[in-house]
A and B are shown apart, each in its own frame.
Chain A
Amino acid sequence: MIPLSHFLTLGAVLFLIGAAGVLMRRNVIIILLSIELMLNAVNVTLIGFSRQWADLSGQVFAIFVIAVAACEAAVGLAILISLNRDKTVMNVDEVNLLKW
């Protein structure tokens, strides 16, 4: 039996890796992948708690998150493609139209 602390530690580590990737990388695709990583870290945590408390609602939540992640990936890639068509950039630093 794997103790709950392992699940939580893995989830926390994955989440921090994902958050670090989102904050530090400049390539839009990597950022999107990092977001996926963060979402899946949350999934690991959810599954861990579900198993610990023998409650299926955690697993249902995880499936919802996967569905939302798929939508997010679709929208994100669509934005990426239109950005690329417009400015031929992959670098988020150069996408600063909302700046003052």
Chain B
Amino acid sequence: MISYAWLIPLFPVVGVLINGFLGKRLGEKSGFIATLMAGLSLLVVLLIANEMIFGAGGKHTIHLWEWIHAGSFSVSLSFLIDPLSTIMLLVVSGVGFLVHLYSIGYMHGDPGFPRFFTYLNLFMLSMFLLVLGDNYLVMFVGWEGVGLCSYLLIGFWYEKKSASDAGKKAFIVNRIGDAGFLLGMFLIWVIADTLTYQEVSQVTSKFAVTINVLGIETTYASIIGLLLFIGAIGKSAQIPLYVWLPDAMEGPTPVSALIHAATMVTAGVYMVARTSPIYVEAALAMEVIAVVGALTAIFAASIGLVQNDIKRVLAYSTVSQLGFMFMALGVGAFTAGVFHLMTHAFFKGLLFLGSGSVIHALHHAPVEQQQDMRYMGGLKSKMPVTYWTFLIGAIAIAGVPPFAGFWSKDEILANAFFSGHTFVWAVGSIAALMTAFYMFRLIFMTFHGEMRVDPHAREHIHESPFSMTTPLILLAVLSVFGGIIPGFPPEKGWIHDFLAPSLAKVSQVTHHSSFNLISSAHAASADSGGHHGPEAIYLIVLAIVIAVGGIILAWSMYGKKSNIPDQIQQKFPGLYKILLNKYYVDELYQRYIVEPIYRLMKFLWNFDAKVVDGAVNGSTLVTVLTSRVSSFFDLRTVDGAVNGVANFVRFFSQVFKFLQSGMVQNYLLAMLLGVFLMLSAYLLQ
């Protein structure tokens, strides 16, 4: 079955072609076609995963064709099926199929219905290419493809200015990251002479060469790692390029669930995990990743504390959770990072689809109130399925055992702690507390308390249709069992054995002997699994305390009637304002990046208009003037000479021309006279 892996991206291609060309005629039938194609892909993925998990496993390359061949440079379109891509395929096709199913209900009645499903299938195709490719170039094609689909789907309701602006923002911010990815890829090629993962992993010694850049002793691996990480920062919304993700919530909610929570934004995590053979040689890059991840986790979580838009809370939560994943990668716990990627796809997909269900129910409310939690409340009894599934998702992300999020998040924090990254661990723990708090703030504001919905919209509130609740229930099941089954017991679970062939291990020597920013020197071994004695138990207990504590805190502030939030707001007005305005990062970017670029553009525009155009116009003027002179010279002197000769000839021929009268008789007369004269002269001599 594994050799049929090419079928996985083929089905979405068929869907794209059918819906792209016949979508208008098919109307809402296009949704079923797209969902069918996603389902067929899922089926193939399940069959392959069955073979990989319960069968032989191993790594399989499916070579389709030689794509580029120029000199020593050669890239083929081939797919790699190994444990890592199997996990990614399961997540992408599983969540993707459920989101397709959900969208049939959610997008019902939208004029762009076929277009939506065309884009959605195109996204599936690109994402499959991204995770299936066996080399960086194929990954990059998928990488750009999902970026394009993200842009198209964020700006899906393009007639809304904010949506089309958000689409452009996402696209442009991602370009910055892509530049880093490209440079990293070039460097890999230059050093390793290959772009395939497997060949790269065989020549890691080439990457470990120490070089001196600007006075810092480092390795090629670190430079490549940092460049690739810039790509990951863009795609996976880390500091400082996370700004596009919250705005991406302008897209339809299923898109937010699929692309901006479960799959596309985790592409950066996948890429770093895929490049783990290089990263283990890149101590500097790893430290940077860990710190950036930790800072992003707490930064985004703190913004999420005070947001009122239900989708924005989830968006900042996504940014924060992606930070957790990078934290794991940075401390060398690649398995934990991929594990969290998987569980996060389940519960964050669930939470987004749940919020979509809420928004769907409120679509009779005024537009600006549909997503605002201050105008919700008390929806629990009206929408029981949505409520219970949402609650499961919230518990999972908060990290309460035995739900999915606990297992992966706990592994990340434990790995950070035991690898000596105490700072990262502390920041991550605080971010985890915030996570539990803002999620349950969201639950209490949306589903509990008195109803604050616009009176006209109240009677329209209803549970979502079957096609929408089914994915919720399935994802809720995954959010419950998706962590404990592969992840128990902690750090020794099945997923560690399964992923081991795909991910490199950090050897402590390379990791700690060289440039080290934060970690303490007396580091214990990372990712070595469960031998940490009582400390590990303390950590687990602490994690549970943090999760439950966050929930209780949220309940005491928002669950029961209280004025604590208002009091805090009044006590720290500055802090509240900063958080509500997202640390003014957008404004800072606007002020210090966008506007200077804009001014530079204005300057260049003026330079172009005045200097370049001036030079062009000036040279035109000079040419015109010199051509005037030369045309004068030509007309008067050259033509004058020619005409002068002609006039001279004409003048002197004036007299003689009359001899040629054209009348034969004149000539004859002249001839006769001549003869007469000659004869006369002869005779008279």
Q: Which residues of A contact B (CB under 8 A)?
A: 19, 22-24, 92-93, 95-100
Q: Which residues of A contact B662 (CB under 8 A)?
A: 95-100
Please report whether the interface of chain B is mostly helix, strand, loop or mixed according to DSSP. Answer: helix
Q: Which residues of B contact A19 (CB under 8 A)?
A: 672
Q: Does B190 contact A (CB under 8 A)?
A: no
Q: Which residues of B contact A96 (CB under 8 A)?
A: 661-663
Q: Which residues of B contact A (CB under 8 A)?
A: 657, 660-665, 668-669, 672
Contacts A92-B663, A96-B663; is A23 near B657 (CB within 8 Å)? no
| Docked complex Cα distance between A97 and B669 (Å) | 19
* A23 lies within 8 A of B660 (CB): no
Q: Which residues of B contact A24 (CB under 8 A)?
A: 665
* B661 lies within 8 A of A23 (CB): no
* A98 lies within 8 A of B660 (CB): yes
CB distance from A32 to the nearest CB of B (A): 12
* A92 lies within 8 A of B665 (CB): yes
* A99 lies within 8 A of B661 (CB): yes
Q: Which residues of A contact B663 (CB under 8 A)?
A: 92-93, 96
| Docked complex Cα distance between A24 and B660 (Å) | 18
Sample (15) of A-B pairs whose CB atoms are under 8 Å apart:
A19-B672, A22-B665, A22-B668, A23-B665, A23-B669, A23-B672, A24-B665, A92-B663, A95-B662, A97-B662, A98-B660, A98-B662, A99-B662, A100-B660, A100-B662
Q: Which residues of B contact A95 (CB under 8 A)?
A: 662
Q: Which residues of A contact B664 (CB under 8 A)?
A: 92
| Docked complex Cα distance between A92 and B661 (Å) | 12
Smallest CB-CB A-B distances: 8 pairs: A99-B662, A96-B662, A100-B657, A100-B660, A98-B662, A23-B665, A23-B669, A23-B668
| Docked complex Cα distance between A96 and B660 (Å) | 10
Q: Which residues of A contact B660 (CB under 8 A)?
A: 98-100
CB distance from A37 to the nearest CB of B (A): 14
| Docked complex Cα distance between A24 and B664 (Å) | 11
Give B664's nearest chain A residue, CB to CB: A92
CB distance from B589 to the nearest CB of A (A): 88
CB distance from A66 to the nearest CB of B (A): 22
Give A99's nearest chain B residue, CB to CB: B662
Q: Which residues of A contact B669 (CB under 8 A)?
A: 23
CB distance from B43 to the nearest CB of A (A): 95
CB distance from B93 to the nearest CB of A (A): 94
CB distance from B678 to the nearest CB of A (A): 16
| A-B contact sample (15 more), CB < 8 A, given A92-B664, A97-B662, A99-B660 | A22-B665, A22-B668, A23-B665, A23-B669, A23-B672, A24-B665, A92-B663, A92-B665, A93-B663, A96-B663, A98-B660, A98-B662, A99-B662, A100-B657, A100-B660
